[in-house]
């Protein structure tokens, strides 16, 4: 594997020490006269800045303000992230209803595994509009300005996939001002964190920004799970405030974490005797080491007020090595039977088997270039805002997989049974690594696109976009014997030309509000990602030559910016449907999969974000999702054996989901915050036999108190999962006949941050 920059341990220690001497800035919302902070507003040296508008999308593809974009877009600003102490991408997305999480496991690596509106979105993550396809845990928000969640099928914006939407992470960038935001925090469960956000104006047009982070913590109500990381993100911008601007930025982050697969999960709950704190892996073996290096250059030039161009180039390398021991094996309950009632010989014991000791050593390399030309002009009485774009990208994927817990000659180890109630999480068996396979993936994606907003008059606008892309992916998968000899090697290729588009009609009765109707679609080829592969010549599984899948979005909504653009209210009803996903043919004479699967999600979204009064702020969202499998098998199977999945809800798609975060300034010095996150029960599978198996819904609560010591220093206390709710996320399996696993949500925890601004 390719090694990226790594600071020596003494340097890391000095970095942590230097940060520890500092105390940080937390942006607060809606302050009084001496505390004038609002969504998207930062004060420096105690002086109030001019009020900023509500957060807006970062991408140049969006030609209008958020209020006039005909699609549901939820923006989580830095202020809300800091107030709630949301540290990871999963933490942030857990506050956005309609998003759920699967167990982070698979051939692509251990990491974020996301569902949006009932459909997988693990490969629909972008950073500053550039696809970030590696399967890893995006564990820290220290260099993020905001997180944008674009809901609904929309590959016209971000490329292949995006069935249920996509997630864009916006990085911090230099500005023409001077500020120093320093923070140090301690908390329960060995929580320690130091950060720095330093911006310095070098001259009238140049600025430098530096973000630093060092962090470690255990997890409340989880044994043997800990997280350690540090990161540095310098950036410099030239020509700020001029017609030509260049920004150079670099991100380096290293993680050393425990891959947590949680506890055994069966038919929607834990097995008898299982506590949420139990750890069924091996604390002396299980490890997840991530290293991210990303270098970005962004060049912008304004020819005049009506014409500008921007170019973003990024080279990134993401390395991950994980050794994992999922809780897979035989669970013999204390009564002497398994979970499904079969007699077993080791009552009260868990006998590990399956993928214990699995090693996944991956590297994702990406080179990306995107150019956008924005022009404003008129044709007759119609005003246009036109964006023309070109993207060129090349990705490389390498995976070494094997097992680190083999005997000396490569044989399978007979694991010692664990006590289900009190597992011994220390591994004393042999530790010999044997490589079992290697995957090489190459993906090239080139695209051209156009977006135009046609303003017909003060009340009517038409919003449209189209994208044409060429997606070429090749995967070479090799397997090896225990003596290192090549056993098999298969090559799969999938090359597709893809066209996606969207159109929206916007009616603005007044400047502050809009009503809209929009249609958009997405295209997903059989091999959409660099770490995926298609299959060749397997009965009922051949899909390399199958045409792309299609998803469609129909949405009717309204958006209003009220109280002098301080409060945003949104609402929509929508249908998001997969019209032709792949299913097995079921016919032994037809090896190709068939594009005959159909599923849809009908829903409602409501949102409120901003200031209700000068003292009271809110960030709240609600989603209602009614999902249904329209057809879950091929026409051949439906005609010969029926369709048992028809009419069933989609897995991991709760009907109701809600998040509320609100703060109130009690005085010039005191601010309090309260948050509520909840969702209703969700299915673990769409098969008819599992119709009754549900993961229970839950509500969790969080609270915050902020005390302004003086104009520069404030102290912030956060308590998460206030009532210590026992709930489960990241579910895998656990259906009618198979014991799966699920990750318990973190128990009650508290952190105290000292934040210093100067």
Q: 284: closest CA among 325, 319, 254, 321?
A: 325
What is the widest separation between alpha-carbon atoms in the chain? 84
Residues 6 or more apart whose Cβ sits within 8 Å of residue 296:
128, 171, 247, 248, 249, 250, 312, 313, 314
Averaged pLDDT, 354-372: 94
* Strand 549-562, strand 567-583: pairing: antiparallel
Q: What would the pLDDT profile of 47-82 be if each residue is shown by its tens digit?
A: 333 334 689 999 889 989 999 999 999 999 999 999
d(CA 307, CA 377): 9
- In angstroms, the CA 140 to CA 154 distance is 27
304-328, pLDDT tens digit by residue?
999 999 999 999 999 999 999 999 9
Q: pLDDT value at position 15? A: 39
Q: Mean pLDDT across the stretch 206-225?
A: 97
CA–CA dist 28, 466 (Å, integer): 39
Residue 113 CA to residue 378 CA, distance in Å, equals 45
| Tens of pLDDT, residues 241-295 | 999 999 999 999 999 999 999 999 998 899 999 999 999 999 999 999 999 999 9
pLDDT score for 300: 97
**Residue 494 pairs with which residues in a beta bridge?**
473
DSSP bridge partners of 488: 479
* pLDDT-based confidence at residue 691 (cuts at 50, 70, 90): low
pLDDT confidence band for 736 (50 / 70 / 90): confident
20: which residues sit within 8 A by CB, 6+ positions away? 184, 194
Across 382-483, the runs of DSSP E, i.e. the strands, are: 382-403, 418-419, 434-455, 460-480
9-757 — its CATH code? Answer: 2.40.170.20
Using CA atoms of 175, 181, 182, 187 in order, give the dihedral in degrees to the nearest 10: -120
Phi first, then psi, for residue 13 (nearest 5°) are -65, -40
Which one is predicted more confidently, 25 or 732?
Answer: 732
Burial 356-386 (b: 16+ CB within 10 A, else e): bbbbbbbbbbbebbbbbbbebeeeeeeeebb
Question: Rounded to the nearest 10 degrees, how much is the dihedral formed by the CA atoms of 118, 123, 127, 132?
Answer: 170
Give the pLDDT confidence score for residue 32 in this predicted structure. Answer: 34
Task: Identify which of 450, 400, 420, 456 has the alpha carbon closest to the alpha carbon of residue 333.
Answer: 420
Summarised one tens digit per residue, pLDDT across range 630-682 is 999 999 999 999 999 899 999 889 999 999 999 999 999 999 999 999 999 99
Q: 254 forms bridges with which residues in the sheet?
A: 230, 291
pLDDT at 744 over 50: yes
Distance from chain centroid for Cα 680: 21
d(C-alpha 403, C-alpha 410), whole Å: 9
Report the predicted TM-score, pTM, of the whole model to 2 decimal places.
0.90
Can you give the pLDDT at residue 3? 39
Ramachandran quadrant class, 647 (left: phi over 0; alpha: psi -120 to 50; beta: rest) = left
For residue range 159-211, list pLDDT tens digits in order: 999 999 999 999 999 999 999 999 999 999 999 999 999 999 999 999 999 99
H or E element: which one contains 81?
Answer: helix 78-83
Least confident piece of the model among 98-102, 376-380, 742-746: 98-102
The per-residue pLDDT for 355 is 83
581-618: pLDDT as tens digits? 999 999 988 999 999 999 999 999 999 999 999 999 99
pLDDT at residue 689, as a whole number: 66
Give per-residue pLDDT as tens, 411-449: 999 999 999 999 999 999 999 999 999 999 999 999 999
CB hemisphere CA count around 21 (13 angstroms):
5
* Nearest partner of 77 among 555, 537, 502, 611, judged by Cα: 611
Cα(182)–Cα(213) distance, rounded to whole angstroms?
A: 10
Which pLDDT score is estimated for 40? 41
What pLDDT score was predicted for residue 204? 97
pLDDT tier at 120, thresholds 50, 70, 90 = confident
In sequence order, the 6+-apart residues with CB closer than 8 A to the CB of 438 are 398, 399, 400, 401, 477, 478, 480
- Cα dihedral: 76, 169, 25, 225 (round 10): 100
């Amino acid at each position: 594997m390719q090694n990226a920059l790594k600071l020596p341990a003494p340097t890391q220690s000095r970095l942590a020490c230097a940060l520890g001497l500092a105390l940080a800035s937390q942006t607060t919302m809606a302050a009084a006269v001496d505390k004038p902070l609002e969504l998207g507003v930062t004060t420096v040296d105690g002086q109030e800045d001019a009020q900023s508008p509500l957060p807006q999308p970062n991408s140049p593809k969006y030609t209008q303000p958020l209020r006039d974009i005909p699609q549901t877009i939820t923006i989580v600003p830095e202020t809300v992230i800091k107030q709630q102490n949301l540290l990871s991408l999963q933490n942030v997305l857990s506050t956005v209803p309609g998003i759920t999480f699967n167990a982070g496991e698979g051939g692509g690596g251990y990491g974020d595994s996301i569902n949006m509106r009932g459909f997988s979105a693990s490969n629909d993550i972008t950073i500053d509009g550039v696809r970030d396809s590696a399967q890893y845990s995006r564990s820290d928000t220290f260099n993020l300005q905001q997180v944008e969640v674009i809901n609904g099928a929309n590959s016209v914006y971000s490329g292949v996939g995006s069935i249920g939407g996509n997630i864009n992470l916006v990085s911090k960038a230099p500005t023409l001002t001077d500020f120093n935001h320093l923070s140090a925090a301690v908390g329960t469960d060995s929580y320690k964190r130091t950060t720095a956000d330093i911006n310095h104006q070098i001259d009238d047009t140049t600025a430098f920004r530096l973000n630093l982070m060092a962090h470690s913590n255990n997890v409340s109500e989880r044994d043997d799970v800990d997280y350690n990381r540090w990161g540095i993100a310098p950036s410099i911008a030239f020509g700020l405030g001029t017609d030509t601007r260049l920004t150079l930025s670099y991100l380096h982050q290293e993680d050393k974490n425990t891959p947590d697969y949680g506890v055994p999960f069966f038919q929607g709950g834990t097995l008898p005797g299982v506590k949420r704190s139990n750890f069924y892996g091996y604390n002396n073996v299980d490890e997840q080491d991530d290293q991210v290096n990303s270098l970005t250059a962004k060049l912008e030039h304004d020819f005049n007020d009506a014409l500008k161009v921007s170019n973003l180039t990024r080279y990134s390398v993401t390395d991950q090595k994980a050794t994992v021991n999922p809780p897979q094996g035989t669970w013999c309950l204390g009564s002497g039977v398994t979970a499904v009632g079969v007699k077993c010989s080791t009552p009260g014991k868990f006998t590990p088997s399956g993928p214990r000791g699995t090693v996944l050593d991956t590297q994702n390399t990406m080179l990306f270039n995107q150019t956008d030309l924005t022009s404003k002009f008129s044709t007759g009485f119609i005003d246009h805002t036109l964006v023309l774009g070109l993207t060129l990208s090349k990705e490389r994927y390498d995976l070494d997989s094997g097992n680190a817990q083999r005997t000396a000659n490569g044989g399978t180890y007979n694991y010692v049974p664990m006590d289900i109630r009190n597992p011994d999480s220390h591994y004393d068996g042999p530790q010999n690594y044997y490589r079992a396979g290697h995957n090489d993936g190459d993906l090239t994606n080139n695209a051209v696109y156009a977006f135009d907003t046609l303003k017909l008059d003060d009340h009517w606008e038409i919003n449209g976009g189209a994208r044409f892309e060429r997606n070429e992916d090749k995967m070479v998968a090799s397997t090896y014997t225990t003596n290192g000899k090549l056993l098999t090697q298969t090559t799969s290729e999938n090359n597709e030309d893809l066209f996606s588009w969207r159109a929206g009609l916007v009616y603005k009765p007044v400047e502050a509000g809009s009503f809209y109707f929009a249609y958009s679609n997405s295209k997903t080829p059989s091999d959409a990602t660099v770490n995926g592969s298609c299959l060749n010549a397997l009965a009922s599984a051949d899909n390399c030559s199958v045409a792309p899948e299609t998803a469609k979005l129909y949405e009717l909504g309204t958006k209003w910016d009220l109280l002098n653009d301080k409060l945003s209210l949104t609402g929509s009803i929508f249908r998001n449907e997969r019209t032709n996903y792949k299913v097995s043919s079921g016919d032994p004479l037809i090896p190709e999969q068939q594009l005959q699967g159909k599923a849809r999600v009908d829903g409602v979204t409501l949102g409120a974000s901003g200031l209700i009064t000068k003292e009271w702020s809110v960030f709240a969202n609600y989603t209602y999702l009614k999902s249904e499998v329209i057809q879950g098998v091929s026409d051949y199977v439906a005609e010969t054996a029926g369709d048992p999945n028809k009419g069933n809800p989609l897995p991991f798609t709760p009907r109701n989901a809600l998040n509320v975060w609100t703060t109130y300034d009690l005085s010039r010095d005191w601010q309090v915050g309260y948050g509520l996150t909840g969702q209703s029960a969700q299915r673990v599978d769409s098969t008819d036999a599992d119709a009754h198996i549900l993961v229970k819904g839950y509500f969790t609560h969080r609270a915050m108190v902020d005390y302004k010591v003086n104009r520069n220093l404030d102290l912030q206390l956060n308590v998460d999962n206030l009532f210590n709710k026992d709930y489960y996320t990241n579910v895998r399996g656990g259906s009618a006949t198979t014991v799966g696993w699920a990750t318990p949500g973190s128990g009650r925890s508290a952190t105290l941050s000292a934040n210093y601004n100067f």
